[in-house]
Amino acid sequence: MWALLTPLLFPGIQQAPNQDVASVHASFLQEAPNLDGRLDEPFWRSADLVDGLTEVEPGQGIPHDPLTEIRVARDSTHLYFGVTCWEPTPEKMVVQNMKRDAFLREDDRIEFVFDTFKDGRSGYFFQMSAGGSRGDALIGDNGSRFNKKWDGFWKGVAKIGEDRWTAEIAIPFATMAFGESGTWGFNIQRFRGANRSRARWAAVSRNLNLFNLSDAGELTGMENISAKGAFEVSPYLKFRNAKLSTGEVSRTADLGGEFNWRVTPQLKASFTLNTDFAETEVDQQRVNLTRFSLFFPEKRDFFLEDSTLFEFGEARSYRGGGVLMPFYSRRIGLTEDGDEVPIRAGLRVAGRSGPWDLGLLAVDTDDLSSEGVPAGQQFVFRPAYRMNREMSIGGLFTSGDPSTDARNQVLGADFRFSRSEIIPGHRFAMNLFGLRGVDDATASRSVAWGAEGLLKSDDWEYSLKTYASQPDFNPGLGFVLRPGERYQYGRIQWEPRPSGESPFRKFSFHLRPKWWTDLSGDVTSHAYDVKFFGAEWNNGDSVELVWAWDGDRLDEAWDPVDGITINPGFYHYQKFEAEYSFSSARPLSGEIDLQVGDWYDGEVVDLSLSANWRPNAATRVGASLGEGRYDLLGGDFVSRTARLSYNHSFSPNLSVFNLLQYDNESNEVGFQSRTHLIAEDGRELFFVINSGWEDQLDRRFVLQDQDFTLKVVSSLRF
């Protein structure tokens, strides 16, 4: 794979330019549309039209049927879309979600991406479902990085008719940063639930996806955009009633908020005071049967906005990361146990200036005496220079360690390269980085490094990764899973598709070795996975059969649970996994996952069951149970997790989310209920209930804490 670096070493080898770039012009409106989803205003008939979507799934390169029409228009402050998705069989449409930011797996929907700087690397994603659900995300590194937790300000309304569904969408220019060019990168994708087809306007190849901005089409007519909305004030008012296990009751009222200033159309500064995250979704309860820390994704809005500009090192998608991250924002304002550390003030400057991508973050945190956390300041600076659409070089500087007053600093540099047609029909991406850390708490100076490479075609994918760090590498604002070790990962995946008529959409096979070594090269752990059969049916069901050979070296005795010890030694063990997923296009869907085999000096049977019931677009009921039975030389034990959720949307702008979960490692039951009312984006109300019970080991659960929080946020742009 590394031979593919030839174009870098021999710059005379150039990528063939794309001679046929799809393009559409945004018609200028004199009056804003009334957003009701009907498209009955006369100006929609004369607005520029996109109507030539090409199928990429299940077929490839054929005109998509039924027809999709997207009208594009703008005024001085907003970008507008009028969408018509023709549907001859509306009874087969999949309309399962209407709430904001729902996970739309099988729903009928339309999706847009914008490369507002026309640099082919970073941009914005918006989606609108036939049921009225709105979603958005940030895109980074030409689609390699994706932040679905980001929320922008925009509006959208959808309507379902007899032979079509329609939508009207309005996106304020103030929601996005953009360059001075009058041309943006732009692409559209439609997902049709009746036959699970996917069609795009540009980048119509399976080895590409919608987020590969370097292959997007063009949106012209984006000159003379108004700076309205350069200033935004978002104060909040919060009331909280908390009951502790001691019986004490605490009633508090807090005031704080954010001030945002769009310094230029490309660069935004945000100041936060008395920052609050009461409405944030709780973390999933899990049982940790490894010798290392679990990784949890960031969910707090202040740290999610423009987060792709701060990412460095290990490439992460919506699935997260968790091996070597020199900056991990959950280190700020949270303890390792997830307890909140008060943030007194913070400053974030993020965006672009010329060829530079810039991210700066400075946070002042208060002490948390109950956890021994001192007050302190944390600082992050992440610049990157775009050499061209394919290459960038950058740096990273972090300072601070929330757990101590001692100096802790990290300095790093990286290089990224991405090209869609380095070989005809293949996409290639590469990421190289190096880090040096200073930690006065341990009087250490240490380094870390990493490299990633990806080559992808329609049916094949090849991936290589390696990360390493010295034993004392301890970034105070980062996450390192196994300091002093080297991680190596490879994957070869083949996904052939049957020709002609077939009940199967595709098959899947992979070989995925990964292993850890100490810095002298001795193996400390390994996991070799072989998916010897995988298949996806046209209806969305799928099956996977995997054989794995794992190994782990214990240099000292380890207790996976209290009272059971595994002696030192190098353990090698095999397991077999079978998984069947029932398509979420059905009202009732679910998944069965069974793992059977050896585990260290014993055996394990692990069964996971999940089910989701969606009787309509407003209601979703979910349940999952995971149970692992371990029979070891030192004794037997059972690990168990359970989750029960009930979500109901009274409208796309009013929803209630309820989650009850349990695990037998903490022996705790947690409950969260979140009611979210959106008057409009930026004017929102949250009512949150959090409760926790502890199992006293006699099946008697005792309330440990409970709080009720009412929070009102109101944003003003001027």
* Residues 89-124 pLDDT 10s: 999 999 999 999 888 989 999 999 999 999 888 899
Q: Would you say the C-alpha torsion 372, 342, 135, 76 has a positive or negative sign?
A: negative
Q: Pairing state of beta strands 668-680 and 109-115?
A: unpaired
pLDDT < 70: residue spans in the chain: 1-19, 227-229, 316-321
Q: Write down the pLDDT at residue 163.
A: 94
What is the per-residue pLDDT for 367? 92
Output the pLDDT for position 229. 67
CATH number given to 19-220: 2.60.40.1190
User: Which tens digits make up the pLDDT trace of 487-500?
Assistant: 999 999 999 999 88
Q: Are 473 and 437 in contact (CB under 8 A)?
A: yes
Cα first-last separation, the chain:
51
DSSP structure string for 561-585? ETTEEE-SEEEEEEEEEEEEEE-TT
pLDDT at 5: 42
Residue 11 confidence (pLDDT): 41
Q: Kindly tell me the burial class for residue 212, based on how many C-beta atoms sit within 10 Å of its own C-beta (0-12, 13-18, 19 or more).
A: buried
pTM over 0.85: yes
Domain boundaries, the chain: 19-220, 495-647
> How many whole angstroms separate alpha carbon 166 and alpha carbon 187?
18
The whole-angstrom separation of Cα 579 and Cα 529 is 14
| pLDDT at 14 (0 to 100) | 41
